[in-house]
Structures are given as C-alpha cells and as structure tokens.
Structure 1
Amino acid sequence: MASIELRAVEKWYGEVQVIKGVDLAIEEGEFIIFVGPSGCGKSTLLRMIAGLEETSRGQIVIGERDATAEPPARRGLAMVFQSYALYPHMSVRDNMGFSLKAAGVKRPEMDAKVDEAARVLKLEPLLDRRPKDLSGGQRQRVAIGRSIVRDPTAFLFDEPLSNLDAALRVEMRYEIAKLHQALQSTMIYVTHDQVEAMTLADRIVVLEAGRVSQVGSPRELYERPGNLFVAQFIGSPKMNVFPADTPGLRLETTLPPEAAHFGIRPEHISLGDPGSGQIDGTVDIVEYLGADTYVIADCGAAGKLTVRTHDDAGLAPGRTCGLAFEPGRTHLFDEAGLALR
C-alpha cells in the first residue's frame, strides 16, 4: 500500500474545466470516499488517479513517485467498477486468477493467491461456479477478489454497489468494511450514497462543481459543516436552513451581524405546545418510518422544517406546535454560505 497525493490537479475537456485545482493527501491505509451530486467530478477524479483519464495540469504522486504521466498498468492500482465485467465462460477461480495468468504467474502461485482472496471474501465454496450461478453480491465479491490477487498499491472503487438491491447493499457495505480492516490497504471509493460514505469512510471528500468543498471525518462533516453546501448535502433528512432574520424566530441570544442563514438538524428539534420553543409551525405531513417519524411543519417565513422524532402521538396534519431547538446544536452561515464558528 502507499499514500496518494493530488497537487493542484485539473481536468479540461477543450474549454470546459471539470476538475478545478484539487489538492488532497491520502495516507497509507486510509479509506477515503468521494461524494457529491451528479456531475461534480467525483468519478472523473477517480479515473484520473487510475490513469484512465489524462491529467491536464497538476501532479498525481503515488508513494514518493510522480505517476502523473504513467499509464494505468504501471501505477499498481486496482479498480473495481459498477459493472462486474466477469468472463461468463470462466469459473470464479479462473476469473479471479485471469490477470495473474496473463502476467505469466505460475499456476501454484496463482492458486495460492486466489485461495487467500477467496478466504478473505468467503468465496471458497463458489470457486468452481460460473458467474451466471452467482447472486449480484457474490459477483461483486468476485470482482473485488480479482483485484485483491494483484496485491495492488491501492484499491479504487467506482460506485461498486449501485447495481445491488437495498438488502445486498447493506451486506456488501459490511463486507467492504471488513475487507479494509483485514487488508489495511489504501482505498478510494466513489459513491452518491451518503449512507455508504458515513459508514465506511475514515474521511469524506465532498466535491461541488469540480472543487473540494470540505474534507473531514463523517462526524466532523455532520457536526461541523464548513459551509452551507456540506451542511445540506451530508445528513438525511437534510439540515433545515432558513434566513437568520426570519420573523417570529424567538432566540435567547442575539445573532452576530454577519449571520445570514440559520441551520438546525431535524433530530435537534423537539415539538411542544404553541408558543414554546423558538418558532411555531403547523404540522403539514407526518411520515411514520418505524423507529423514527418525520414531521414536516409549515413555519411560515422559515418555510417547511423537518423534525425527526420517536413520538408522533397526536401529531395530525393541521395541528399547531412549538418547535424547540436543542441548545448548542444550531449552525450559522454568512451570506457566502461559510460557517460561522
């Protein structure tokens, strides 16, 4: 495994710039996840690291080696795509060992590497099967195993779970987390699913329009977002945000003059009688999800605020409530959307 560093990396397609001066240092053995909305450049950036996209400007350093101009085969990286791309006529064993066979590795060594990867991924009973006999999750594990046998410098994952159903996604998240624990390899993972990002990453890189908006641990990004974009992108349901000068807002302290936006997460709001708390609202919709209930309340000038609660007793649409904000859990942002600390 090795560290990976991006130094002022840019990607241009003619006159269009899609990656805009990204600086990022990834430590050995770290699990980094790129997240962001569609079109933000996260897959492009991953492909640039892999060497599948040319770097227009800047440097990509792998270990202590400038790999910017190196072809993919010389970078020592293994990429796992959304598509499994398994050979249908080959067994699981032959699929996993194909790259080693193509590289001239002798059969005993190849079998030993495949057997070890199969043990890590719990594929041992499936080695003689063909891809058509496997579930989607099993096929993805074979695709990952094909990468493991190469003993790469780092693993690159490009939305590997997006083709799986909800139950298999949960199972594979667990498998990938255990894989990282077992291998302690450097991993870079692209996803649009923030649940994957929050549960798997050591650090998350939030991308917006080709730029890094914020880098930090899942807890840092959730509890201390650096700007309005990260505040509303990380978290489900997203953070409630409304103007800091909203009429009817009852605060115990005076806000700083530079505060333009006020934020509060749904789980940090409690419901009470009208007149209690910081603002009143009328229940619009109640969404019962079992362990949680989401209450969407119309709070007039503040707009519709979402409350996450465990007690939905009597919260019928049309009821007026007071919304109380948990002390120390509010967020303030200036006119440019930057967090006020």
Structure 2
Amino acid sequence: MGAITLKAVEKWYGDIQVIKGVDLEIADGEFVVFVGPSGCGKSTLLRMIGGLEDISRGTLDIDGRDVTSEPPSKRGLAMVFQSYALYPHMSVRDNMGFSLKTAGAPKDEIAAKVNAAAAVLKLEPYLDRRPKDLSGGQRQRVAIGRSIVRDPTAFLFDEPLSNLDAALRVEMRYEIAKLHQSLKSTMIYVTHDQVEAMTLADRIVVLEFGKIAQVGTPRELYERPANTFVAQFIGSPKMNLLPCETAGKTYSLPGGRGGTCAVTAPATQLGIRPEHITLGTPGHGQCDGTVDIVEYLGADSFVVVECGALGKLTVRITGDTDLHPGDGVGLGFEATALNFFGTDGLRV
C-alpha cells in the first residue's frame, strides 16, 4: 500500500513561508508529478514527504497513519536523487544491496532481491562493475535499483534525469514508465521539465509560489487549464494569450474580428494552443498578421506571426511550408478549442 495524504501542509523558514497550505491525496499505485518553475517549492514538498524537511504545520498520512513527526527511516519510502550517490569503491551488486546489508538482512535474501531488481532494470551484465565503468543512464538505473530492493511503500524521485543528455533522458523516461507499470508502486516525481510531466504522470500537480495552481491528468491540464499560469506553463510551445472582450456569446479582438464563444461571463483574455490556429489568406479568420519567423523542426514547423495589437502568436503547422518572413496571413481559430480567462487570470 502507498496512499499518501497531505493536509494543510506548510513550510516556514523563519518568517518566510515557502509551502502555503497544500492539500493533496495520492492514491496507492499512482504516478504523480510535481512540476513548476524554479523556486516554486516542488523539491521542498517532496523532501517534506520523505522526512528530509520538517513539516511546520499540517499533517502527512501514509496509508492512514500519521507520520508527520516520524523520521525518514520509519516512513518506508525510497528516494532517488539528481546525483546518483553511489559508492565508487563498491560494485553495482554491493551498491544495490548495501541498505539491506546494513539492516542485517541474510545474504541469500540480499542476493535474491538484488538479482530481481537487476532483472527489472536490465542491469545483470553490470552487477560486478563499479560505477566509474557505467554510463550516466546505467548509474541512474543502479540508484533506482538500490531503492527497489528495499520494497518501499512509495518512490520519491527528485529530478533524477537532470544530469543526463537529451538522448539518455528520453531513454530513462521510458525506463521509469515501464518500471511503474511493472511494480505498480506509488511514485512521486519532481521535475521542472513539463515534457517529462506530460509523458510520465497519471496526474500532474502544478505548483506556483508554494501553492497548488492545478491538479489533474495531463490532458485536463493541457485542454482546460485553471488559470493563465498553467495555460502557459503546460505545453510546448505555450498557449497563446490574447486580449479580448466578451458580450453575450460573442468575443471581439482589438484590431481583429472575433467570433462566437461558449462562455457568457466577462473575460479579458483568450487562450488558444498553436495547433488550433489555421493559416490562410489575409481577411479570413479572426485576425491578420505578418510572418515574423518560421522554425522548421522536421514533422512540424512553428510559425511566429506578428499580429499588431494582439502581439506575436505561435502557430503549429506541418513541417512542409512555403511561408517566409514578411508574408501576410489570416489566422483562423478553432471555435471548440478556445479558453477564456478573467482579469484575475482564472478560467471563465
């Protein structure tokens, strides 16, 4: 079992509050990702769950048991850090089994658990090597294996892929996703990379200045962001935000034309994803603009269009395009993909 519940959790450093009343329930076996910009409190919150930081106020329950004041060793959690923290003089086998050895486990039990973890992580050929003889991805798998042998209640990952190059990050994302499928254990994962969050998570917790901005599945956060912060943090490229006015079930754009909408409450900003904008001839669609730059990425191209009072809008199109900087275009918005936000930045 690995259900984790945070109730009104706060963290204070003197007079400075960095975690501001977080309420969160994580189900047994769920993969939850904490994501947000640097300084938002995501690593601090993870360390509070792990017991490496004290909880100033509020309570933490694991499987219905209050562990707020218990030390890390009593919580049954395993943590994987950004740094591999492997013993350089020990073999992979000894590194993975070290925590069991210090706990006084029998040699046969240690060997069985190390071999089982090595099979899951495809580390059998490397068990007698030392860390210096491994690649970065292999070292991170050893660090994960060291946690697996402990059979923890939940795994806590603190930006485990930050030290890897781009190709290894993609490979290790796949390995961690497969690991969760096979172990079916609760996993909490901290990252600043929203691509990692989108590809790994059952649910994403977006943090902003120590508060939860929104919790939901990757699809919910992408399609229905709760506020403009989430709208522009989740998604690459980020959601376009335009000034607008609404009246009844219509909206209008300064310097543009507008159209119909599904909201009746007042809104001051319209949000639309780059892939929900189509390019045509000037005079058609919701507004006109001039191509500023074309970014060719292979299968896709990103076209940045200067739209006067509406600012620069990013449009995602197929990679094959004849557009060039300076070309005039009309931009059409998909009516079913519009998001509206009020003056407070909250979704209307």
The answer, yes or no, to whether TM exceeds 0.5 is yes
Per the alignment, residue 45 of structure 1 pairs with 45
Per the alignment, residue 277 of structure 1 pairs with 285
- Report the Cα distance in structure 2 between the residues aligned to 1:256 and 1:40, rounded to whole angstroms: 33
- Report the Cα distance in structure 1 between the residues aligned to 2:260 and 2:161, rounded to whole angstroms: 46
Residues 292-313 of structure 1 show CA distances to partners (whole Å, capped at 9, x for unaligned) of 1000000000000000000553
**Aligned residue identity for 1:323:** L
- 1:263 partnered with 2:268: no
Give SS of 2:260's match: coil
Per the alignment, residue 228 of structure 2 pairs with 228
Per the alignment, residue 111 of structure 1 pairs with 111
Match of 1:247 among 254, 268, 272: 254
Match of 1:331 among 311, 322, 339: 339
User: Which residues of 2 match residues 183-332 of structure 1 at below 5 A?
Assistant: 183-245=183-245, 246-253=253-260, 256=264, 258-310=266-318, 312-332=320-340
Q: Percent identity?
A: 74
Give SS of 2:60's match: strand
Per the alignment, residue 250 of structure 2 pairs with none
Residues 141-192 of structure 1 show CA distances to partners (whole Å, capped at 9, x for unaligned) of 0000000000000000000000000000000000000000000000000000
Give SS of 1:176's match: helix
User: Which residues of 2 match residues 12-161 of structure 1 at below 5 A?
Assistant: 12-161=12-161
Give SS of 1:100's match: helix
Give SS of 1:328's match: helix
**Aligned residue identity for 2:255:** G
Task: Please identify runs of 4+ aligned residues in structure 1 that moved more than 6 A.
Answer: none
**Aligned residue identity for 2:131:** P
Per the alignment, residue 178 of structure 1 pairs with 178
TM-score of the two chains, using structure 1 as the length reference: 0.98
**What is the number of equivalent residue pairs in this alignment?**
340
Unaligned residue ranges in structure 2 (runs of 5+): 246-252
Give SS of 2:335's match: coil
**Aligned residue identity for 1:215:** V
- Alignment check: 8 A CA contact 2:298 2:319 kept: no
Per the alignment, residue 248 of structure 2 pairs with none
- Report the Cα distance in structure 1 between the residues aligned to 2:294 and 2:273, rounded to whole angstroms: 17
**Aligned residue identity for 1:301:** A
- Report the Cα distance in structure 2 between the residues aligned to 1:252 and 1:95, rounded to whole angstroms: 63
Residues 99-156 of structure 1 show CA distances to partners (whole Å, capped at 9, x for unaligned) of 0000000111100000000000000111000001000000000000000000000000
Shift of residue 250, structure 1, vs aligned partner: 1.5
- Report the Cα distance in structure 2 between the residues aligned to 1:242 and 1:256, rounded to whole angstroms: 18
Give SS of 2:258's match: coil
Shift of residue 326, structure 1, vs aligned partner: 1.2
- Report the Cα distance in structure 2 between the residues aligned to 1:313 and 1:74, rounded to whole angstroms: 59
Unaligned residue ranges in structure 1 (runs of 5+): none
**Aligned residue identity for 1:320:** G
- Report the Cα distance in structure 2 between the residues aligned to 1:335 and 1:312, rounded to whole angstroms: 39
Root mean square deviation, CA, Å: 1.0
- Report the Cα distance in structure 1 between the residues aligned to 2:77 and 2:265, rounded to whole angstroms: 50
- Report the Cα distance in structure 2 between the residues aligned to 1:187 and 1:263, rounded to whole angstroms: 32
- Report the Cα distance in structure 1 between the residues aligned to 2:70 and 2:57, rounded to whole angstroms: 14
TM-score of the two chains, using structure 2 as the length reference: 0.96
